[in-house]
Copies of this chain bind each other. A is one copy, B any other.
Amino acid sequence: MSQNMKKLINNPADVIREALEGIALAYPELIKVHFDPYFVYRAETTRPDKVVVISGGGSGHEPLHTGFVGLGMLDAACPGEVFTSPTPDQMLEAAKMVSTGAGVLNIVKNYSGDVMNFEMATELAREEGIRIINILIDDDVAIEDSLYTQGHRGVGTAVLAEKIVGAAAEQGYDLKQLADLTRRVNLNGRSMGVALTSCTPPAKGSPLFQLGEDEIEFGVGIHGEPGRQRLPVSSADKITEMLTLAILEDKEFTRKQIEWDEKKEDWLEFEVTDHPLKKGDRVLAFVNSLGGTPLSELYIVFRKLAQICSQKEITIVRSLVGPYITSLEMQGASITLLKLDEELIQLWDAPVKTPAMRWGI
C-alpha cells in the first residue's frame, strides 16, 4: 500500500462494497443493503400511505447518507463511489424498492453530477408511474459556481433536512407538503466550512489537494473544492467568527430550484432567495467535523459560535455537534445555522432510529 495511504481498507476498488457489507452486518435490525446496484434501505416495511424520502450522493461523507436510513429519516440512500455521484440506475432501483403509492421525495445536494443523475432517474421512474419529486439543497454560502457545482453547493443543511423531512413523512405529510417543507428547510439553512488538511481518496492514493503547513482553505467544499481563499492558520475564535459572519451576512443569497414541468414535459429551472437570519430568530446550530477534527475542537468552535449568536440576539434552541457530513479524514469543521419555528422544532425532536442519529425510540 502506498505511503500516502495509511487506511483501514483492503483493495481500494472494494471500499464501497466492503463498507456496505459492514454497515449491513452492524445494523441488521435497521437497514438492508442492495448490492447490484448499490443502495441502502430500511429493514422494516414502510406504511403503504407514507411518502418515501430518498437521498444519495458520493461516498466519503459518512454517516451521510447511508447512516441516516431508518425510522423517522430516510427510506433509502444511494452511495456513489468516493466523491462521485451515484448512477441513475441506483436511484431508480431504490425508488422502485421502497416506493409506496404516496410518492417519492428525493433530497439532492446541488452538485452537477448528482442533479443530472437524479433527474434522469426521476424521468425513468415517472415512466414507470411513480410520483417523484427532486428538491435541491444548496446552502453553502462560500461561493457560487465552483468545481462540481452550478450555484451554491449542498452541505450541512442536507443532514438537517433529512431528519426534519423524514419526521414529517412519518407523520403523514403528503408529497406536496413534504416538497414545500424541504424547500423551506433549504432556504432557512446556511452553511460554511474550513479545511485544515486535505484527505486521500482510496482510488486516488494521494491527497485530494495540496494545502501548505500553515494554510487553511476557508470556505472549502466537502470534496475539497476551493473555497473563498487560502488563509494562514489562525485561532479557533477567529476562524469561527469568519465562518459565522459569512453565514449571518445580511443579504439574500440566490438559490436554485429545479421542477418537472408537467405541461412542457421538461425540467424548469428557477431561482429563489433565502432568508438572512435576523435578531430574534431561533436557530438550530450544527457544528460538524469534516472527519479528522476531534470533538473537543468542535466544542471550542461551538463556544464562539454561541457567543456571536448571543451578541446578535439570535437564540440557539437546538444543537448538533459531531461528524455528520464528512470528507474522509479531512481535518476541519463546518457550521450550519438553520432558522427554526414551532413546526420545525417538533419535527427535529420527533423520534428517529438510524445507525447515526437515534433518539426518542
A residues whose Cβ falls under 8 Å from a Cβ of B: 1, 3, 6-10, 15, 18-23, 25-27, 59-60, 62-63, 67, 196-197, 213-214, 216, 233-237, 239-240, 285, 287, 291-303, 306, 316, 319, 321-323, 326, 328-329, 331-333, 353, 355-356, 358-361
Contacts and interface: CB of A to CB of B under 8 A. Distances in A.
B361 A7 contact: no
Q: What DSSP secondary structure best describes chain A's contact surface?
A: mixed
A292 B329 contact: yes
A22 B301 contact: yes
B359 A21 contact: no
Nearest to A306: B25
A214 B10 contact: no
9 contacts: A6-B213, A8-B300, A9-B300, A10-B236, A15-B296, A22-B303, A23-B299, A25-B302, A295-B356
Contacts of A323: 295, 323
A70 to B, nearest CB: 12
A331 B299 contact: no
Contacts of A197: 6
Contacts of A297: 7-9, 19
A329 B60 contact: no
A215 to B, nearest CB: 9
Given A6-B216, A236-B10, A326 B295 contact: yes
A294 B235 contact: no
Contacts of A353: 359
Given A292-B292, A292-B329, A329-B293, A299 B7 contact: no
Nearest to A299: B22
A341 B173 CA distance: 42
Contact of A19 (B234, B299, B331, B355): B299
Q: 9 smallest A-B Cβ distances: which pairs?
A: A22-B299, A22-B303, A8-B297, A62-B295, A25-B306, A292-B292, A6-B196, A19-B299, A8-B236
Nearest to A360: B361
A252 B102 CA distance: 58
A300 B331 contact: no
Contacts of A214: 3
Most chain B CB within a 10 A radius of its CB, from A26, A234, A306, A328 = A26
A40 to B, nearest CB: 11
Contacts of A1: 233-235
A88 B21 CA distance: 46
